[in-house]
């Protein structure tokens, strides 16, 4: 087989794999334009005891194109259901401050670890790596008691403050900043610039790719938060949109498809808008350790 044929076969295989991964998103989008009765009629699960259609036993019947396009589900979600929009804005008011805080705190800490010499720097940075490896469930109890001691439970600050201090963000940007030549820093010092000037005028603009990567990854991670609001927020009216989907009844399957697709839209937009920054930032962060 020639190289050209191999490339064509590889392209076909990769397209098939990509379709498998993207098909749930396509089904969610098309399902949002279907009436609930059409969804329940077309989406069957055939069991081994179902003899009505024996040739399809054990398979799902999936429809990617609606028989009749309807916006009734969007009317229910966006107009008739006030809880959805309220939880949507709850998510925005939680996630945006977290992402902005992560960008500022992580970039400043990463600059110190990458370009400022001080005793114990490697030991402290190693502790950051250990924290990054810990799952959220490990630090859940200490965070809960700390927030309780500060009287911050059942407030937005209980979600925002722990989210701002991201060990992953420090690691990502520190690796990125290590690739910045030290000559830039030394030249600025000779010209009389202090650390804040060097950071905001030189380092911060150079690391825009890594910062954009952190913003995208941080947005995706916190947009999907579930444990934090369930544990730290007792008031249901303060819960983000990620909690809403689990409360939709199975009898409202059309509403569930629509709510899920709208929930995914900000993530899709963020990824499509920042894809190049994400690839650049992640690749450059591994160029120098």
Which of 70, 102, 122 terminates a domain? The answer is: 70
Q: Within a domain: residue 25?
A: yes
What number is the average pLDDT over the span 22-43?
78
**Pair 206, 87 in one domain:** yes
Q: Are residues 26 and 162 in the same domain?
A: no
Does residue 93 carry a pLDDT above 90?
yes
- Count of domains observed in the chain: 2
Tell whether 223 and 107 lie within a shared domain.
Answer: yes
pLDDT higher than 60, residue 50: no
Together in a domain, 82 and 188: yes
Question: Residue 41's pLDDT is what?
Answer: 67
pLDDT, residue 132, reads 72
Q: Does 242 lie in the same domain as 125?
A: yes
* Residue 289 in domain: no
Predicted confidence at residue 289, as pLDDT, reads: 46
Note whether 18 and 128 are same-domain residues: no
pLDDT digits (tens, 9 = 90+) for 181-210: 888 888 888 888 888 888 888 888 888 888
pLDDT score of 99 more than 90:
yes
Q: What domain range is 229 assigned to?
A: 75-284
Q: What is the CATH number of the domain that holds 203?
A: 1.10.3720.10
Based on the domain organization, do 224 and 266 belong to the same domain?
yes
Q: pLDDT value at position 89? A: 92
Q: Say yes or no: 268 and 175 in one domain.
A: yes
Answer whether 242's CB lies under 8 Å from 142's CB.
Answer: no
pLDDT tens digits for range 147-179: 999 999 999 999 999 889 878 888 888 888 888
């Amino acid at each position: 087989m020639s190289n050209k044929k191999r490339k064509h076969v590889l392209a076909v295989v990769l397209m098939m794999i990509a379709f498998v991964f993207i098909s749930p998103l396509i089904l969610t989008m098309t399902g949002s334009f279907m009436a609930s009765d059409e969804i329940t009629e077309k989406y069957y699960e055939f069991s081994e005891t179902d003899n009505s259609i024996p040739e399809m036993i054990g398979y799902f019947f999936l429809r990617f194109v609606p028989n009749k396009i309807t916006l009734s589900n969007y009317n229910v979600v966006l107009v008739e259901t006030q809880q959805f929009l309220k939880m949507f804005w709850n998510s925005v008011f939680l996630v945006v401050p977290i992402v902005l805080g992560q960008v500022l705190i992580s970039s400043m800490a990463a600059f110190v670890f990458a370009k400022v010499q001080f005793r114990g720097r490697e030991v402290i940075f190693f502790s950051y790596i250990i924290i990054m490896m810990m799952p959220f469930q490990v630090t859940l109890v200490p965070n809960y008691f700390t927030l309780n001691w500060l009287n911050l439970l059942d407030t937005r600050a209980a979600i925002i403050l722990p989210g701002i201090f991201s060990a992953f963000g420090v690691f990502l940007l520190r690796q990125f900043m290590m690739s910045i030549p030290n000559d830039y820093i030394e030249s600025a010092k000779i010209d009389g610039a202090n650390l804040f000037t060097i950071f905001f005028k030189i380092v911060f603009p150079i690391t825009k790719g890594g910062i954009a990567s952190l913003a995208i990854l941080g947005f995706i991670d916190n947009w999907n938060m579930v444990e934090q609001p369930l544990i730290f927020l007792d008031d249901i009216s303060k819960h983000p949109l990620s909690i809403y989907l689990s409360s939709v009844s199975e009898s409202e399957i059309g509403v569930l498809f629509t709510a899920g697709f709208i929930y995914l839209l900000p993530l899709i937009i963020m990824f499509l808008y920042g894809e190049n920054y994400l690839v650049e930032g992640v690749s450059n962060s591994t160029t120098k350790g």
